[in-house]
A and B are shown apart, each in its own frame.
Chain A
Amino acid sequence: MYREDFPILNNNIIYFDNGATTLKPKCVVEAMNDYYYNYGANIHRGDYKISLKASEEYEKVRDKVKDFINAKSSKEIVFTSGATDSLNKIVFGFMKDYLNEGDEVLLTKSEHASNVLPWLELAKIKNIKISYIPLNDNHELTLEALTNTINEKTKVISIASITNVVGDVRDIHEISKIAHKHNIILVVDGAQSVPHMKTDVIKDDIDFLVFSGHKMLGPTGVGVLYAKEEYLEKMKPIEYGGGMNQYFEVTGEVEYKSIPTRFEAGTPPIAEVIGLGAAIDYLQSIGMDKIYEYEKELKKYLVSKLESNTKVILYNKNSDSGILAFNLEGIFSQDTAIYLDHYNICVRAGNHCAKILKDEINIKNTCRISLYFYNTKEEIDKLVEALEKSDDLFKVIL
Chain B
Amino acid sequence: MDRELKREVILDNYNNPYHKGLKGEAGYKKANTNNESCIDNIDIELKIEDGKVVDANFDGEACAISTSATSIFLRKIIGKSVSDVKDLIENYEHLIDEQEYDEEKLGELMVYDTIYMQPNRKHCALLPVDTIKKILKEVESGD
CB 8 Å contact bits of B51-81 with A (1 = contact, 0 = none) = 0000000000111110100000000000000
- State whether B10 touches A398 (Cβ < 8 A): yes
Q: Contacts A335-B64, A338-B121 given: A394-B38 contact, CB under 8 Å?
A: no
Say yes or no: is B7 at the interface (Cβ < 8 Å to chain A): yes
> Which A residues touch B38, using CB under 8 A?
334, 349-350
Chain B contact residues (Cβ within 8 angstroms of A): what range?
Answer: 10 to 19
- Does A395 sit within 8 A of B, measured CB to CB? yes
Main secondary structure of the interface of B (DSSP, over half): helix
CB-defined interface of B14-48 with A at 8 Å, one 1/0 digit per residue?
Answer: 00000000000000000000000011110000000
Measured between alpha carbons, how far is A351 from B61 in the docked complex, in Å?
12
Provide the residues of chain B in CB contact with A338, threshold 8 Å: 63, 120-121
- CB-based contact B121/A332 at 8 Å: no
CB distance from A390 to the nearest CB of B (A): 13
Smallest CB–CB gap between B127 and chain A, Å?
Answer: 12
Interface size on A, residues (CB 8 A): 14
Q: Which residues of A contact B122 (CB under 8 A)?
A: none
Chain B nearest CB, measured from A159 CB (Å): 25
Kindly list 6 other residue pairs between chains A and B, CB separation below 8 angstroms, not including A334-B39, A351-B39, A398-B64: A332-B64, A338-B120, A338-B121, A349-B38, A365-B61, A394-B10
Binding site for A on B (CB under 8 A): 3, 6-7, 10-11, 38-41, 61-65, 67, 120-121, 124
Q: Which 5 residue pairs across A and B have the least CB separation, nearest first?
A: A350-B39, A334-B63, A398-B7, A332-B63, A335-B63
In the assembled complex, 21 residue pairs joining A and B whose CB atoms fall closer than 8 Å, in A order, are: A332-B61, A332-B62, A332-B63, A332-B64, A333-B39, A334-B38, A334-B39, A334-B40, A334-B63, A335-B64, A338-B120, A349-B38, A349-B39, A350-B39, A364-B39, A394-B11, A394-B64, A395-B7, A398-B10, A398-B64, A398-B65
